[in-house]
Chains A and B, each alone.
Chain A
């Protein structure tokens, strides 16, 4: 089960959610650390611990800098560069596409991300489904509303990342954006990236699946694979399938080169699922000068995926990190971010310490934006996994300006936690984190990621000077 309650709590309560509430007896944390958990099939970020030392020379350095006081957590620097943009924090709102629930919220999320100075992603099929600059459906925002909501609230930190899939390519989405006079300045100033989509974590290797109604099925029958054929069979609901894009090493390499030629002012991002050939993907991305490689682990969220894919397909994010760690050192100019069940400041700190350049997340933004009162009860129901629940939540109340605050609250908790944890490690810049700050409960992970295992006799974090 996805821990939606934690997200709602963060969105509603903002920075106070960073700490346990005395009144809330359901929180195990009030009695100390949670040491048992639900059954997991494979290790996740939770199997890694953050291990602070007593001796913290960087804290001393920082206090010399500050001169008049000891450094505290809010002295930790989170800002930097990511994927060609200046950001306030290396947290990215994943590229989320056309599902109606998300689409309603998307412009508010854009505003929240812009105000927070973080990168905002736009997934595939948005213009095709909801319109480019005029609404196809009165109640549903179109693509440019998302983009302009971001830039109207932009303060110089962050950026917008936009995907184009095969169906978008039919209407040449990127060319349209690139030649749109409203956006020329933002391209010239380097605030927009185009993101090639090479799959996602929840359905690695597979295409896109959705249910659509009859009217939409008839409209889309030439663009997608619709089952059954709406002209032959009349029913309420149809399956809409889109084919996975085709890549070979040569195709990927040349597509990137072509994009750099065609869109010299756009940053180039590449999003991929948790594939076994990730190391090669990073090599090609690095060689061709991709600004950011975004890897979605099998833990990643989805609008709709076959259950069999979520259970049996793809690599968990820790395995992805291990797969690319050698190549990562060779290509310092290509940033790598990870996604898939990222939801706290601890995830950000761990990712940075493991050598990643940031994290992306999607579901927390969706849940936060809908975290009005009473939403929780619906989110708790079994319906959650089919995203229907969010539809119900939507009926309770449509996203509005309050959603902006809910999402900003959530983002603030990530910021504070990341600062608390980093300061706890005696470091005052997120970029100073390294593997020395981590340990794991599993010897396998220790070997794989080259970090200490806390129960291993052989491994010592810091050896004493005098050994008896």
Chain B
């Protein structure tokens, strides 16, 4: 591919997105990425519709959105004198819509292509997979638990692989173009997309931590390497909390196919992720992790739906109950089990295109703390 750009670092690419967007986005390699972006969007829609999901237009703003996690800040607007929030994720509305479909005697399966806005803490700028503005393909299923939601995720991601395989000739030059930077950012060199046959591996959180600890035991040098790569001082790996970014990267790096981690310990997730009635302290939730170092693609869970469970969970997050008035009233009258997940569209584009950082997937990327046009 003929390119008029000469960038040997992510910083200089980012710089170009803040100075001359037309020049950088008109480069052939970027136009190829944008085409893949569109193909992935279409494939996701096609698959979900084929599985009986109905697409809704998600709300842009509302009196409340689901709380940001890991320190991300929501964006408020003045809505005729009242404070409304820009959606950081449409979970509460997905629950509402899937249940209302069911109440109407239809199949309770819905999805959004949802614009999400999260003012992430600046430390996320180093993960290569966080943007402040991004699209999440967000779905919800009535009468399902997290295992059934994982089945749908597996189907969707397998389908995407199958579809993208058809475009390998288009993808290869992108992989090659970014290969030097991608390997610098800890991504494995790719000759072809993984051939998906059969089911993805499913690890419980405890098994994933065990796997990591075993791997570290056998490769002690890796600890120093990831601490350097992610600029963290000490090991933060614990069976009692979320897997830190640097270890999630490691886990992703040593896998050849997408895989699930499920049953996370309670603590980091939102109040809507259901706590297992059989195993208190364990959430009925999951992540799908892309292989080769690309990291988390999907987060999902079965939802809490009883107010007697939701209210204490909200208080655990230090939330104000008043703020969630419509949601609590809705759950009290109509709450029933649902499960769902969201897949980051730009994360999928990054993964299939082999991009060193997620911001390269968009013509006007919102990198936390970077002021592009």
Contacts and interface: CB of A to CB of B under 8 A. Distances in A.
Interface of A: 164, 166-167, 169-172, 174-176, 178-179, 181, 184, 188, 196, 222-223, 245-248, 250-251, 254-255, 257-265
Given A164-B318, A255-B318, A170 B268 contact: no
A270 to B, nearest CB: 12
A196 B318 contact: yes
Contact of B242 (A169, A176, A261): A261
Among A184, A247, A257, A263, the most chain B Cβ lie within 10 Å of the Cβ of A257
Given A172-B68, A258-B316, 16 more contacts: A169-B320, A170-B83, A171-B83, A172-B67, A172-B73, A172-B74, A175-B73, A222-B82, A245-B315, A255-B317, A258-B267, A258-B268, A261-B241, A262-B69, A262-B268, A264-B236
A248 B319 CA distance: 14
Contacts of B369: 181
Contacts, number: 90
Among B76, B242, B267, the most chain A Cβ lie within 10 Å of the Cβ of B267
A260 to B, nearest CB: 7
Contacts of A174: 71
Contacts of A223: 322
Given A170-B323, A262-B268, A184 B318 contact: no
Nearest to B313: A254
B70 interface: yes
A255 B318 CA distance: 7
Contacts of B236: 264
B368 interface: yes
Contact of B320 (A170, A175, A179, A257): A170
A76 B133 CA distance: 55
A222 B312 CA distance: 22
A246 B322 CA distance: 13
A254 B267 contact: yes
Interface of B: 67-74, 76, 82-83, 119-123, 236, 240-242, 244, 266-268, 312, 315-320, 322-323, 368-369
B268 A178 contact: no
Among B74, B267, B318, B368, the most chain A Cβ lie within 10 Å of the Cβ of B318
Contacts of A262: 69-71, 268
A179 B317 contact: no
Contacts of B320: 166-167, 169-170
Chain A interface, DSSP helix/strand/loop, else mixed: helix
Contacts of B76: 171
A166 B323 CA distance: 10
Contacts of B266: 254, 257
B70 to A, nearest CB: 5
Contacts of A261: 69-70, 241-242, 267-268
A227 B362 CA distance: 51
Nearest to B270: A258
Contacts of A258: 267-268, 316-317
A386 B197 CA distance: 74
Nearest to B316: A254
Contact of A175 (B68, B122, B123, B322): B68
A170 B82 CA distance: 12
Contacts of A264: 236, 244
B71 A251 contact: no
A149 B120 CA distance: 25
Contacts of B319: 169
Contacts of B317: 255, 258
B72 A246 contact: no
A171 B83 CA distance: 9
B268 to A, nearest CB: 4
B318 A175 contact: no
A172 B320 CA distance: 10
Nearest to B240: A257
Nearest to B317: A258
B241 A179 contact: no
B74 A255 contact: no
Contact of A179 (B72, B318, B323): B72
B123 A255 contact: no
13 contacts: A170-B320, A171-B83, A175-B68, A179-B71, A179-B72, A181-B369, A247-B315, A257-B241, A257-B267, A258-B316, A261-B69, A261-B268, A265-B123
